[in-house]
Amino acid sequence: MERHECDVLVVGGGMAGIAAAIASARSGARTTLIDGAGWLGGMGITGATGLHSFFNVFDAVPGAARTLVVGGIAQELVDRVSARGGGIGHVRMERGGDFVSMLTPVEPEVFKVVAAETCREAGVDLLLHTTLHGVEVDSGRIVAACVWNKAGAREMTASVYVDCTGDGDLAAYAGAPHTTFAAGERGAYSAGFTFRLCNIDLGALEADLDRRGLISQLAHAVKPGMSAPGLVRLGINMRRLRDEGVEDAPGYFLSSSLRPRELTYCNCINHGPNDGLDPTALTNAEVDLRERMLSIAEMFREQFAGCDECYAAGPAPTAGQRRGRAIHCDYELSQDDCTEGRQFDDQVACFGFIDNGRHFVEDAGAYGVPYRALLPTGLDNTLIAGRMMTVDLVAHNSTRNTACCLACGEAAGTAAAVAAAGDMSPRDVDVAALRGTLRENGAILEPVPHPL
């Protein structure tokens, strides 16, 4: 079997994996990043309505100060996407800011290009269309990752491995303790599916929704290629529409718009909750959600001004299952850690948004992510980052989000390079020195005041 050797192997090219690979390579490690898809960004770019949030939810508490909670590689990617005409930076919400006060919309195709460019400029060895199918382990150390692609099977060996697969495939295959979530169990999530709605008169749509009192979230900014502010964020109160008798209205509707006459991301349909590791459930989700996407376009044509000739296009390549496994780590963030805004001596990131309308970080603050939360139990040469890093449901409502994944990925990748260079376990990394390196590279470890 063909073998591939490197210092750090990052498995999974979503938000966490991109940041981990860039950070590792820039720290001097020979770094390989593999992913089963043909692009980088994962669900964070094919399924999210924005990268949220780089800020605290300051509008949830009257008079609260705005603070910046994510920087580093995450901010660099936003800046590069904007420079390529695919972003507008951070946008202040005009309505609905008590849920997310600042949104960072990015155009998905531009982000994919920028992510690949940034990885290659850093020296990352990219290998797409490559799937992990097994792991060789010896006494708690991963010896090799077994992968498959069109060239056949191969073994990939590294000093340190970083699991950014989203579902914790690498760590689970290696024997790390983990929790799964059957359909109907607390912690199970639904599969989502985003798409574009094109050929819309956005001004007419907004005016119609505003007149009918149906707008729940709203923001405007100057889009790429335009000279005047336009609609960039739109939430529709679909529950009220259902109360008016529109039975085929979805349960909610959130969207962002980066281009003229289109809602670039429409997030409104889900399948489940279901077991994110069940192939039959995932297959059923694909069939169901693609059919419902067409129904949403038909509803818009019938119900809203400016949408008479709209159509659905650019769907996500796959349904986005929000949760599969949760990997147990040396420390596991709890609901109270998040909602009380707890800080830790070894924290390597911070975050302030919880994707749950019933739970917020108190006083519009932010909580810290300790380095220990990136160390899977029972494995000596592995780190994790991404949406499998918390078991508690409310904590997971927060840590699975895009900006948090980027921040944790940068921390994991930096630590992996340090461990590989020192021929040590990630548990033996000098956390104080790691924190210093992250700060030098622009990462934010504690909230930074950012005046309105």
Q: At what angle do helices 15-26 and 108-122 cross, to 10 degrees?
A: 20
Q: Which of 329, 259, 267 is nearest to 292 (CA)?
A: 267
Q: Which two tokens stand for residue 178?
A: 């983990």
Residue 233 CA neighbour count, 13 Å, CB half: 27
Same domain, 214 and 333: no
* CATH number, domain with residue 90: 3.50.50.60
Same domain, 218 and 349: no
Same domain, 172 and 28: yes
1 confidence band (pLDDT: 50, 70, 90): low
Same domain, 68 and 209: no
Same domain, 282 and 328: no
Same domain, 97 and 164: yes
Q: β-pairing, 141-149 with 311-313?
A: unpaired
Peptide bond into 257 cis (omega under 30): no
Same domain, 257 and 375: no
Query: Which one of 321, 348, 373 terminates a domain?
Result: 321
Domain extent at residue 299: 189-321
pTM here? 0.97
165-186 pLDDT, tens digit per residue, is 999 999 999 999 999 999 989 9
Q: What's the CA gap between 415 and 70, in Å, rounded?
A: 18
Q: Is 368 helix (H, G, I), strand (E, B) or coil?
A: strand
240-282 pLDDT, tens digit per residue, is 999 999 989 999 999 999 999 999 999 999 999 999 999 999 9
Q: Which two tokens stand for residue 297?
A: 């376009």
Q: β-pairing, 141-149 with 131-138?
A: antiparallel
Question: How many distinct structural domains can be found in the chain?
Answer: 2
Q: Is 242 helix (H, G, I), strand (E, B) or coil?
A: helix
Same domain, 247 and 229: yes
Dihedral angle, C-alpha 162, 166, 294, 288, nearest 10 °: 130
Instruction: Report CA-CA distances (Å) from 364 to 68, 91, 99, 151, 167.
Output: 12, 18, 11, 51, 30
Same domain, 136 and 245: no
Same domain, 176 and 27: yes
* Percent helix, percent strand, percent coil in the chain, to nearest 5: 30, 25, 40
Q: Are 129 and 147 in contact (CB under 8 A)?
A: no
The predicted model gives 324-330 an average pLDDT of 97
Query: Which one of 299, 321, 343 terminates a domain?
Result: 321
| pLDDT surpassing 90 at residue 158 | yes
360-388 pLDDT, tens digit per residue, is 999 999 999 999 999 999 999 999 999 99
108-138 pLDDT, tens digit per residue, is 999 999 999 999 999 999 999 999 999 999 9
Same domain, 14 and 142: yes
Query: Which one of 288, 321, 354 terminates a domain?
Result: 321
Q: What's the CA gap between 292 and 36, in Å, rounded?
A: 26
Same domain, 407 and 328: yes
- 184: number of Cβ within 10 Å: 10
Q: What's the CA gap between 64 and 57, in Å, rounded?
A: 9
